[in-house]
Structure 1
Amino acid sequence: MLIAHLSDPHLPTGPLAAAPATALHRAFARLLALEPRPACVVITGDLVEHGTPDEYALLLDILGLCPIPVHLAPGNHDGPRFTTELGGSRYLAGGSSSSYAVEYPSATVIVADSVIHGRAEGRLGDTQLAWIDETLGVRPDVPAFIAMHHPPVAVGIPFLDGMGLLDGPELGEIVARRGNVARVLAGHVHRTIAVPWAGTLASVAPATYRQTALRLHDAQPPGYLIEPATFLLHAPAGDGWATHSVAVSGAGAVLAY
């Protein structure tokens, strides 16, 4: 089972919409050309820029080109219309909740909502932490992927570490105790980052459009730059999982359309 992991398209509307929309479109064209194709796609939040109906309409137009399952997590930019615009669709596993789980034969995908509306940092909360714990226990021998917007651990960029997951330690206790979490998937940082954590790997996907500058020396806003775009591909390897970085732009990659 291959799991494609994208993040942070930040789709706007208006005159500046073309570049972010094209970047997400090209990422899907690249992942659909992989052989074999991924079993599913997970996008870890900040799908749109301002949370407006027009932005969600653009998102749905692009997602409609993808014939394989897509699982969406909300980000702090997605706003309260996330479930209004996406509820009942295949992108929330047919339900109306921003937290849900999908069982595949060889993996469980758990999507969590880490958004605190109106704030950049995130929190899961006691109820959702208990649900994650319970869901991990349903199939204890099957690898699980927990997907959310905010990384549960510091990544070394001070500005962004100040807006991470506030109850990351509490989640870490659950992950370490259960022992069947193959990856914790996150976004928010706009960079490819991997951090060993709680007996697993926290895997942060880059943005499909602009990346955060690598500002490690102080807590000032790092700014953004147009680096070659990639996404992550999580693949079984031996007794575990390998995570590959797949080039989208700046490379002679095969595209499906």
Structure 2
Amino acid sequence: MAVLVAHVSDLHLGAHHEDAVDGLVVDVAAARPDLTVVTGDSTMRARTAEFEQVRELLDRLPGPVLAVTGNHDLPLFSTQRVLDPYARYQSWIDADLDPVVRVPGLTALGLQSMPRWRWKNGLVTAGQATSVADVLGGAPEGDVRLLALHHPPLATGTARIVGRRRLLGAVRAARVDLVLAGHTHVPDVRIAQQSRPVFVVAGTATSRRVRGTQRSWSLISVDRGEVVVRERYFGPSGWHTGRVVTFPPG
């Protein structure tokens, strides 16, 4: 039986396109996913009013929902970033910064890749890499194993995530099928050196910052090992399917 995942990212509520928000809820709900994943930057400036908007939107999306933090979900310049940077996120979105969600046929783990002391580039700690091995490596045989974080693990150069080597090592050891990320606002689908995992970066679903492409989200299907990624784009007539990428069973 196919497992269906809706992958939404970089909502940036507070600097969003209102029509895209309303249409996104309808479009994702119509897909009837088994899990909705939100890979960070749900707010624009981590203000309370923005988190209120995010909570309302998440409650309208089909559940269960697995969400993780992004760099915009921490206060920018304030004592709260030093003293309690995740307080608003934990109050409004999820108290667990590295959440685990299990549904029939799927085990999913989210990682908090945005430490308080880094501006944009992410970090995965040794403890988090161990969690990948424990949670996803210990998933029931036959489950789709899904990892979600804000920062793309395959990014290189100045965008390279700290802890990249240990993260990718844990991903391989745990036989992860899907790694979902955001951050760039540009959709991307690829594999690394092997047939698995499939790395999916979702574009921005609702932000005004489209960076040369349309607003988008990704619908991912896994059926007997075959992975199909359908990118859904927002245009003048609403949401529609654009690029479709298929990976045969690995």
User: How do 1:79-228 and structure 2 match up within 5 A?
Assistant: 79=74, 83-87=86-90, 92=94, 96-117=95-116, 118-141=118-141, 142-154=143-155, 161-179=157-175, 181-197=176-192, 199-208=196-205, 209-210=207-208, 224-225=211-212, 227-228=213-214
Residue matched to 1:7: 9
Distance 1:195 1:210 in 2: 25
**What whole-Å deviation, never above 9, does each CA across 1:93-145 have from its counterpart, x for those lacking one?**
xxx22101111111111111000224110011111111121111221522211
Gap change, CA 1:98 and 1:4, over 3 Å in 2: same
**What whole-Å deviation, never above 9, does each CA across 1:187-209 have from its counterpart, x for those lacking one?**
00111112212631211000012
Residue matched to 2:228: 242
1:229 paired to 2:176: no
> 1:86 Cα deviation (Å)?
4.7
Distance 1:4 1:22 in 2: 19
Give the secondary-structure state (helix, strand or coil) at the position aligned to 1:3: strand
Report if aligned partners of 1:187, 1:205 keep a CA contact under 8 Å in 2.
yes
Give the secondary-structure state (helix, strand or coil) at the position aligned to 2:166: helix
Distance 1:127 1:242 in 2: 31
Residue matched to 1:219: none
Report if aligned partners of 1:150, 1:186 keep a CA contact under 8 Å in 2.
yes
Distance 1:31 1:183 in 2: 19
Distance 1:82 1:251 in 2: 39
Which ranges of structure 2 fall in alignment gaps of 5 or more residues? 75-80, 241-250
Report if aligned partners of 1:112, 1:147 keep a CA contact under 8 Å in 2.
yes
Give the secondary-structure state (helix, strand or coil) at the position aligned to 1:248: strand
> 1:251 Cα deviation (Å)?
4.1
Distance 1:8 1:236 in 2: 23
Could you tell me the TM-score, scaled by structure 1's length?
0.78
Gap change, CA 1:169 and 1:211, over 3 Å in 2: farther
Report if aligned partners of 1:2, 1:236 keep a CA contact under 8 Å in 2.
yes
Distance 1:76 1:9 in 2: 12
Distance 1:182 1:6 in 2: 18
Distance 1:115 1:237 in 2: 32
How many residue pairs match? The answer is 225
1:59 paired to 2:54: yes
Letter in 2 for 1:114: S
